[in-house]
Structure 1
Amino acid sequence: MKKAGILNRHLAGALAELGHGHEVLVCDAGMPIPDGPRLADLAFRAGVPSFAEVLDGLLAELVVEGATAARELEGAHRTLLEDRFPGLTLVPHERLKELSAGARLVVRTGEARPYANVLLRCGVFF
């Protein structure tokens, strides 16, 4: 049994299959899930788990070379993303939904605040 890191076996397995250039959408509970990408649905109750805790857990395991979020994002989540991704790309929310169709993996959180979504582009560790 794993003693650290992401314990959810479906999510851990999906992360292990990612390669350079693959995209992962981390989204709130209200984001439409596109057909195609693998889904790790972590939503339990409104706000649980939060966007921030899921994002931080993923960032502890992934190399990320870029991130895209909705221009409409405001407040604490915008600050969170700008702090973690200095080169954060902002696009209209409708465009983010279009881009999410190309994601390899979607990780749905229980976040209940709007626009708490980010599309991560995987990098390499070397």
Structure 2
Amino acid sequence: MKKTTVINSELSTVIAGMGHMDWLSIGDAGMPVPMGTQKIDLALTKQLPSFQDVLKNVLSELAVQKIYLAEEIKTQNPEQLAAIQALLPDVEVAFVPHSQLKQDLAKTHAFVRTGEMTPFSNIILESGVTF
């Protein structure tokens, strides 16, 4: 049995297959996922699992060099923004319009759906290198 923290087989496979500068997205329960983008649906019920729990889990195995967030998170969900920045204090942040973030999901290896029910709780992680 796998010993590391990501035990969801689909998510673990996606992370293991990522290379430098590849994208993985994590988001709230309402984020529309483009056709053709793999959706790893972890949502069980409202707020379970939370966006933060899933993000922390993914970060335990994925090196991240840059993140993309919706510009709207600054005013519509500053608590979530602060929590993200606390987890990734030294990572470059790019803010884009929410409409652009939704379009960019088509470029990600997968979208991980959480049970999060707060606005603009969506992120694109750009993988870094471990050396």
Provide TM-score, normalisation by structure 2.
0.90
| 2:108 is aligned with 1:110 | no
Deviation at 1:85, TM superposition (A): 4.6
Aligned pairs (5 A) from 1:8-87: 8-73=8-73, 74-83=77-86, 84-86=88-90, 87=92
Stretches (4+) displaced over 6 A: none
- Count of residues in correspondence between the two structures: 126
- The answer to whether the 8 A contact 2:25-2:125 is kept is yes
Aligned CA RMSD, in angstroms, stands at 1.2
Structure 2 residue identity aligned to 1:81 = I
Q: Distance between the aligned counterparts of 1:123 and 1:45, measured in 2?
A: 32
**TM (normalized to structure 1)?**
0.93
Would you say the 8 A contact 2:14–2:109 is kept in 1? no
Match for residue 3 of structure 1?
A: 3
Question: 1:95 aligned to 83, 95, 100, which one?
Answer: 100
Query: Aligned AA for 2:4?
Result: A
- Counterpart of 1:121? 126
Q: 1:91 to 1:40 in 2, by over 3 A?
A: same
CA distance in 2, matches of 1:99, 1:79: 23
Distance 1:100 1:85, change over 3 A: farther
Does structure 2 retain, via aligned residues, the 8 Å contact 1:26–1:108?
yes
Contact 1:40–1:107 under 8 Å retained in 2: yes
Structure 1 gap ranges (5+)? none
Contact 1:29–1:108 (Cα < 8 Å) also in 2: yes
Among all aligned residue pairs of Structure 1 and Structure 2, give the percentage whose two residues are the same amino acid: 37
- Mark the runs of 5 or more structure 2 residues left unpaired by the alignment: none
